A and B are shown apart, each in its own frame.
Chain A
Amino acid sequence: MSETVTGDISELYAAAAGELTLQLYAYTGDFAAAQDAVQEAFCRALPRWERISRYDDPAAWVRRVAWNVATSRWRRLRTAAAHLVVQRPATVAGPEPDHVALVAALRRLPANHRRAVVLHYLAGLTAEEIGAQDGVAPATVRVWLHRGRTAMAALLIDGADTDEGSAHHV
């Protein structure tokens, strides 16, 4: 997702949709909502593609819109309702959030820490790029990243200790 993708929107979709869904699933803990946000971002990109395709990084536009959609609860609920029938592929069985330790740990983080950690680890963005997307200083993002990672490390270790000896849920 961090690489520049230009040209046809189908190329961008093929390159970015899966990665974006992964990021937003990690962020929201809701696989269906992540899929909906990604589809909605492409619905907004398609009519504007002539303009967006001339940007230096069209993928960044789509990513920003998808994240905005996902982070707005009102939009997420409305979009989910609108897409429920027509967009969500019935064949995809979304993973259960409770089965994924990472998502459970991410849920415990404040939203801005969670967003920074996910964008850093899954979108491969630097603190500067995250700051540009969120409109905050890179130094602030570094603080969020540090606190988020520290908290996550503790949560993951605690979780592993708690789960020791129990079956792995998948």
Chain B
Amino acid sequence: MSEPEFVTPEVDAAFAAFRREILPRVRPAGLDPVRRTVRRRRNVRVAGIALLAVVAIGVPAAALRGGGGPVRPAASPSPAVSGTLSGLPSTAPGALPTCNLSFMDVETGQVQANASQPFVIVKLTNATDEPCLLAGYPQLKDFHVRRDGHDVPNAEVVVQHGSLYAVPDPGAGTLRIPPAGTASFAVGTGTAYTGPVSTIATATLTFHGDKRITLNLPANGPAGQPIPATVTAYARGSDAGR
């Protein structure tokens, strides 16, 4: 073990004696306490996540039920979800935690188009060591819209759920995303309306945590109405279920 040029017999002997003396006295506590500790930590984590979910769902829901203001009619037949809770899972099968965007890698693909309907696919990768759950439809909010190189303040974007020409909507479901696993969804707009075409430059994707994503989607809408955008539900894999 010792290199010849560093021979120190006193040290060799001391370590040998130390091992002889101490090792028989070392009696590790065993794996059972380890298993108990791991179980306890998992329970605490699950309880914490459940509590957060209850707060996240319960508080805004209570505010809505409590008559927090007039309810705006939907701008389209599909349910409008700009800033709503529809992306949150209602159940947690297997007691897995819901995915936290702070611990997911989010990539936005190139803008593609099909039949005057530009779209991008957004890919999410679970960057943790634990599986997690993604449910329902992505929530997008805080859209940043530009037109002719200038910001359009207060531009309204209404998000609908459903299929795009190029990307079918898999429908709301709950996906188990393993470590390094991916899920994806598509965001599409339309450019076939009369009137100037804007660009939805960025939006905030929100679930557990927020992430600003770049879309750069050309878009326009009916005159005097919000710009419609369509999102598909989360799909397994990186191509939004195409």
Are B11 and A149 neighbours in the complex by a CB distance under 8 Å? yes
B71 within 8 A of A: no
Are A22 and B37 neighbours in the complex by a CB distance under 8 Å? no
Are B29 and A35 neighbours in the complex by a CB distance under 8 Å? yes
Are A92 and B6 neighbours in the complex by a CB distance under 8 Å? no
Given contact pairs A51-B129, A100-B18, A149 touches B29 in the complex (Cβ within 8 A): no
Residue numbers in B under 8 Å from A145 (CB-CB)? 6
Q: How large is the interface on B (under 10, 10 to 19, 20 to 34, 35 or more residues)?
A: 20 to 34
Q: Which of B1, B8, B15, B42 contacts A102 (CB 8 A)?
A: B15
Closest B residue to A145 using CB positions: B6
Cα distance, A142 to B2, chains bound together (Å): 11
Residue numbers in B under 8 Å from A121 (CB-CB)? 1, 11-12, 15
Q: Which of A19, A21, A101 contacts B14 (CB 8 A)?
A: A101
B55 within 8 A of A: no
State the main secondary structure of chain B at its contact with A.
helix
Residue numbers in B under 8 Å from A48 (CB-CB)? 129
Q: Which of A89, A100, A105 contacts B22 (CB 8 A)?
A: A100
Residue numbers in B under 8 Å from A149 (CB-CB)? 2, 6, 8, 11
Residue numbers in A under 8 Å from B14 (CB-CB)? 101-102, 105, 152, 156
List chain A positions with a Cβ less than 8 A from chain B.
9-10, 13, 17-19, 21-22, 25-26, 35, 38-39, 42-43, 46-48, 51, 83, 86-89, 91-95, 100-103, 105, 117, 120-122, 124, 142, 145-146, 149-150, 152-153, 156-157, 170
